[in-house]
Structure 1
Amino acid sequence: MTTPCLIALPLVDLLRGPDGPRDRQLLMGEGVTVQSIADEWAEVTAIRDGYSGFVPDSALTEGTVTHRVSARATHLYPAPDFKTRERFSLSHGARLQVLSQQGRFAETPQGYVPHAHLSSLDVLDTDPVTVAETLLGTPYLWGGNSSFGIDCSGLVQAGCLACGIACPGDSGPQERSLGAPLSESAPLQRGDLLFWRGHVAWVSDPATLLHANAHHMAVAYEPIADAIARITAQRGGPVTSRKRLKGLS
């Protein structure tokens, strides 16, 4: 029997095993189902994408969420006053329960967040690339899922989830499940995806990619032709597929 819970910490690594390597990350307020708890470790499955792993059982709580952080990042304060010392920072995509509005701040069970940095969960973005551009310059982090560090598949997932598009956590499953294939001759457009073995990138415009990559060690723009030549030269292989998400035109 599984138990639904929420992530209680601003950011927690989803580990392959207790004290094991990081596979992905989970943000505050994200939902998980708990399979088991033993020796202070919980085996969980992320509701957003079915990714399973281990987190400290202290990272779990119960509750309700109503809003998500739609800004790149925000701060949570002990009072509705930006001059007070913040309690912690929250990444884009973190989820909170808004109890009331206090001037420019939203009151949550954890404290106060600028209301301008939040969106209701029932209000979706319409352009996943615009969402991904919010994270431009974010440091590259293998397995990262936050504005403090993110990888290529994390950047794609962030854009998709903000637009209500179901999206796996890794580039391989993303290539298999996202969008419809494009022929080599089809012109690329904003919102298309290019896949390599172990890598994925958004098409920002017909000549430019936006991707989290270890070459720039950041979320960065790169000319498509340059990226293809560079990845080929680094033995990353050719583009394995070009995909177009449904409903984007």
Structure 2
Amino acid sequence: MMRVSATVAPLFDAPDGGRRQRELVLHERFLVLEERGARVFGRAGRDGYVGWMPGAVLAPDPGAMTHVVAARQSYLCPEPVVKNSAAIVPVSFGSAFRVVALHDGDRWAEVARLEGARAFVPAAHLRPLDRPEADPVAVALRFLGTPYHWGGNSGFGIDCSGLVQAALLACGMECPGDSDLQRHLGCALPQGAAVRRGDLFFWPGHVALAVDAGQLLHANAHHMAVVQEPIADAVARIGVPWMRRL
């Protein structure tokens, strides 16, 4: 098993580049099954999604991580100082780290980089991996305003199925990466059923998450962002969805 060493690494459907299918973020696991020149074929550790990526963005797995970025975005600093003039490295929601120490009244987490360098992350941006989130909708709402990015899985750009997967995985729930597979999650609801927080809405090639009985949240190409909007507006624009309850 390898780990991603780049902030975001694209997963393609062909060794020559092809079409971007999904993305992995910093320190996510990737199992290499085949090498072909500068590209490798393998399986994402989070959900088994297969594809090709540049081998240069992978590094040997140093062992178990302890924490994950729970904020939409965070950053790595070379020193535990807020007013730091040195270059910082942006990192996304879902990036995993092994915390080795806390500094400055537990405000900064010292983390181990794959290349061995010391780095620091604001501790408030991290969540212990053994403490899953409780509410997928609350997780998804952190992505409000994130640019829509087809095949995206990060706090820098995300698509509809990436948003739903990020929210569910953070809560310890299994979730595939594509909406055509996500539509088998939970149980089907009849047309006209009362909407509850966390219900999933599906259209061909699209998925959204209910915030409450009148609002939904989704990453979409109409707004080119993650937005919350009235369910009635989305239905008028896209059509009548089918619904699932987790």
Structure 1 counterpart of 2:95 = 94
Alignment partner of 1:191 out of 195, 198, 210: 198
The number of equivalent residue pairs is 235
1:9 corresponds to 2:17: no
Structure 2 counterpart of 1:78 = 78
Shift of residue 93, structure 1, vs aligned partner:
1.0
Structure 2 counterpart of 1:49 = 47
Structure 2 counterpart of 1:108 = 111
- Cα RMSD for the two superposed structures: 1.1
CA distance in 2, matches of 1:38, 1:219: 36
Runs of 4+ in 1 over 3 A off after TM superposition: none
For residues 85-126 of structure 1, give each alpha carbon's deviation from its aligned partner in whole angstroms, at most 9, with x where no partner exists. 243101111111111112211111231101111011001101
Structure 2 counterpart of 1:126 = 134
Between 90-99 and 78-87, report the one with greater CA deviation.
78-87
Structure 2 counterpart of 1:205 = 212
Shift of residue 185, structure 1, vs aligned partner:
3.3
CA distance in 2, matches of 1:203, 1:68: 25
Shift of residue 38, structure 1, vs aligned partner:
2.4
Shift of residue 10, structure 1, vs aligned partner:
1.0
Q: Which amino acid aligns with 1:217?
A: M
SS at structure 2 position matched to 1:42: strand
CA distance in 2, matches of 1:207, 1:44: 41
Structure 2 counterpart of 1:217 = 224
Shift of residue 131, structure 1, vs aligned partner:
0.2
Structure 2 counterpart of 1:58 = 56
Q: TM-score, normalised by structure 2?
A: 0.93
Structure 2 counterpart of 1:69 = 69
Q: Which amino acid aligns with 1:100?
A: A
| Structure 2, gaps ≥5 residues long | 114-118
Shift of residue 206, structure 1, vs aligned partner:
0.5
Q: Which amino acid aligns with 1:106?
A: A
For residues 71-94 of structure 1, give each alpha carbon's deviation from its aligned partner in whole angstroms, at most 9, with x where no partner exists. 111110111112222431011111
Indicate conservation of the 8 Å contact 1:75/1:86, yes or no: no
Indicate conservation of the 8 Å contact 1:29/1:96, yes or no: yes
Q: TM-score, normalised by structure 1?
A: 0.92
CA distance in 1, matches of 2:135, 2:195: 16
SS at structure 1 position matched to 2:164: helix
